[in-house]
Structures are given as structure tokens and as C-alpha cells.
């Protein structure tokens, strides 16, 4: 994995562990020689991931929609800052520029990005690993809901391993590096669906 798209919140929660975690994730990716592709903002966890990676000498590519560039939201300290027209182009760039997806705590936008990465993997638009860092138990309920979708039958057996969730970054990155693509829906027979 040469680059990972990192999905996370642009907010700064009151609990300082989240911002510290984001900075540590950015720094660790840089130490491993893994570039960061992220939302291009300088605020919240997004800014902390970028700053952590940059301080550790890593590559950081920000992808930000035009509407968010103003108001000093854009992080002009990135190795490269790409300004795109809209969120659809932003998410397409994340997929094109990265070798996988790493989600750390965040809100609605983070969930949108995570589930799109899972959905696109399921369909066959990409065959890249989709990792979820469950730091501080933040995603316990989401992981339980994903398990519930599997148990009910809304996630096919072939796709149950798309979401790779771990509470530890080292273990998560190791599992992502060992990822083996599954059979996407586009390649399945009607009897498999």
C-alpha cells in the first residue's frame, strides 16, 4: 500500500483523544512510507491526520471541493492540494489516488465515504481493502450493525469480509496489507445473488 485514503471528521470533539489519535495515525502512515489522501481540510481530525503525516515527512494529498476552499478551511500545507468541483469528484479522486481506505472516527461525511468504499468494493468498482479503526470502541455499534446485516442476509457471504475492523492500527494495517479481493457482484451469476 503506497497511499491510503483516510476518512475522518472535520470536527474537533471535546475529548482530546480523538485529535491525538488522528495525528498518530498520520505520523504512523508516514513512518511506514504510506502517503495520505484525505479531504484537504485543516480543521478537526482531518487537519490532525495531515499535520501528523507532514511532521513525520510523509506525503499528503488533499482533495477538497471548491465550496470548502474559502473561509480558511483548505490546508495549503499539503504536499499537493487538489481542488475539485464537488463531493462526487472528491470521492472518485480518493478511489483513484489510493490503494485502500482507512476510516478513523468521524461523523456523517465519514460514514458516507466509508459505506461508499464498502459498496463500491461489493459491486466491483474497486478491489482495495476497506479498514475501520475502532479506536476507543467508537465504532462498536456500527460493527454490530454490520454483523446484523450479515446475519439477516443483506450482505452476501462473499462480501462479509469487505469491512476490516480492528481496534489497533498495527493489526488493522497488517490485515489490510494481506487483503485478498472477493468476488464482486458484477462477476457473480444470478444463482449467487
Residues 33-48 pLDDT 10s: 999 999 999 999 999 9
d(CA 101, CA 120): 12
pLDDT in tens, 147-179: 999 999 999 999 999 999 999 999 999 999 999
How much of the chain exceeds pLDDT 70, in percent? 98
The β-bridge relationship of strands 60-65 and 3-7 is: unpaired
Q: Residue length, the chain?
A: 193
Query: pLDDT tens digits for 103-119?
Result: 999 999 999 999 999 99
Query: Residue 13 pLDDT more than 80?
Result: yes
Other CB atoms within 10 Å distance of the CB of residue 151: 9
pLDDT on residue 186 = 84
CATH topology of domain 3-192: Rossmann fold (3.40.50)
What are the CA-CA distances from residue 20 to residues 48, 58, 79, 121, 135 (Å)? Answer: 8, 17, 21, 30, 11
Instruction: Give the residue extent of every domain in the chain.
Output: 3-192
Cα Rg for the chain, rounded, in angstroms? 16
Contact 100, 128 (CB under 8 A): yes
pLDDT value, residue 70: 78
- What is the spatial distance between Cα 74 and Cα 70, in angstroms, rounded to a whole number? 7
Work out the percent of the chain whose per-residue pLDDT is above 90: 90
The pLDDT score that the predictor gives to residue 72 is: 63
Q: What is the pLDDT of residues 64-99, one digit of tens each?
A: 999 998 766 999 999 999 999 999 999 999 999 999
Q: Which residues of 51-66 are buried (b: 16+ CB within 10 A; e: fewer)?
A: bbbbebebbbbbbbbe
Q: List pLDDT tens digits, range 122-138.
A: 999 999 999 999 999 99
DSSP line for 179-192: ------GGG--GGG
Amino acid at each position: 500500500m503506497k497511499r491510503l485514503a483516510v476518512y475522518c471528521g472535520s470536527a474537533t470533539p471535546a475529548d482530546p483523544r480523538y485529535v491525538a489519535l488522528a495525528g498518530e495515525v498520520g505520523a504512523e502512515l508516514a513512518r511506514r512510507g504510506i502517503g495520505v489522501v484525505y479531504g484537504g481540510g485543516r480543521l478537526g481530525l482531518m487537519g490532525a491526520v495531515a499535520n501528523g503525516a507532514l511532521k513525520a515527512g510523509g506525503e499528503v494529498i488533499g482533495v477538497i471541493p471548491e465550496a470548502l476552499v474559502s473561509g480558511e478551511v483548505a490546508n495549503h500545507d499539503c504536499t499537493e492540494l487538489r481542488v475539485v468541483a464537488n463531493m462526487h469528484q472528491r470521492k472518485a479522486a480518493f478511489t483513484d489516488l489510493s490503494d485502500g481506505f482507512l476510516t478513523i472516527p468521524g461523523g456523517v461525511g465519514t460514514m458516507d465515504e466509508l459505506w461508499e468504499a464498502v459498496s463500491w468494493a461489493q459491486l466491483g468498482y474497486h478491489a482495495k481493502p476497506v479498514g475501520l479503526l475502532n479506536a476507543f470502541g467508537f465504532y462498536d455499534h456500527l460493527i454490530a450493525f454490520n454483523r446484523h446485516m450479515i446475519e439477516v442476509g443483506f450482505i452476501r457471504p462473499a462480501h462479509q469480509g469487505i469491512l476490516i475492523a480492528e481496534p489497533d492500527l498495527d493489526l488493522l494495517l497488517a490485515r489490510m496489507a494481506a487483503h485478498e479481493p472477493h468476488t464482486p457482484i458484477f462477476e457473480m451469476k444470478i444463482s449467487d445473488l
